[in-house]
Structure 1
Amino acid sequence: MSNSLKIKILDKEYQVACKPEDRAALQQSAQLLNDKMQEIRRSGAIIGLDRIAVMTALNLAYELLASEQSSNASNADNTLLATLEEKIDAALDRFS
């Protein structure tokens, strides 16, 4: 079952449908979006709600991709370390 939630972004209210269990995450997402859009608007470099929204979306997408790439690199490092640990354990077992 869906409920609706009122969120406020750049002084405008929006009614958004969401599941009750997603309510807190949606509120946090809306707050993050509002904060980022306010930051871009305060910089004065971008004028117009649509341009602020696009720049905010682009910045958030960039941050998401950077985070995913970092996570993937970390997972690859962990896999490499696990493989090296197995090889070291196997080598030590031969000498025991």
Structure 2
Amino acid sequence: MKQLEVQIMGQNYMLGCPENSEIRLLEAVHTVDSAMCKIRDAGKVKARDRIAVLAALNLAYQLLEPAPAPAPAPEQAPDAPDAASEASQAQLKALLERLDTALASPNPAH
């Protein structure tokens, strides 16, 4: 296994990387770094661990979003939206907003 030194939000990390997977790992590092820097630069959250949690949640949310369905052929009527899926998406979005708010508020314990 190869070792790569990478930088995320200005901090160095040594990561193990399977052979021939360096490009994929570096793309993942870039994605995480971009997500964390975006949250940090918004100025609402300062703690690195909170930024990491928010970035992880945002990236997981993006991964779980369903791929857009192809447009129906003109002779076909579009299917009715899946109400359960829409409700789940709405609940997840509400949860993420609550987490953003909770993590952005000052925590007297820290």
Q: Percent identity over the alignment?
A: 31
TM-score by length of 2: 0.60
- Report deviation, 1:46: 1.2
TM-score by length of 1: 0.69
Note the aligned Cα RMSD (angstroms): 1.7
1:45-60 matches, within 5 Å, as 45-60=44-59
The code of the aligned residue for 1:60 comes to L
- Report deviation, 1:62: 0.3
Q: Where does the alignment leave 5 or more consecutive residues of structure 1 unmatched?
A: 82-96
2:67 paired residue number? 70
1:15-94 matches, within 5 Å, as 15-66=14-65, 69-70=66-67, 74=69
Question: Which is helix-richer, 1 or 2?
Answer: 1
Higher gyration radius (CA): 1
SS of the residue corresponding to residue 21 of structure 1 reads: coil
Higher relative contact order (CA 8 A, sep 6+): 2
- Report deviation, 1:70: 2.0
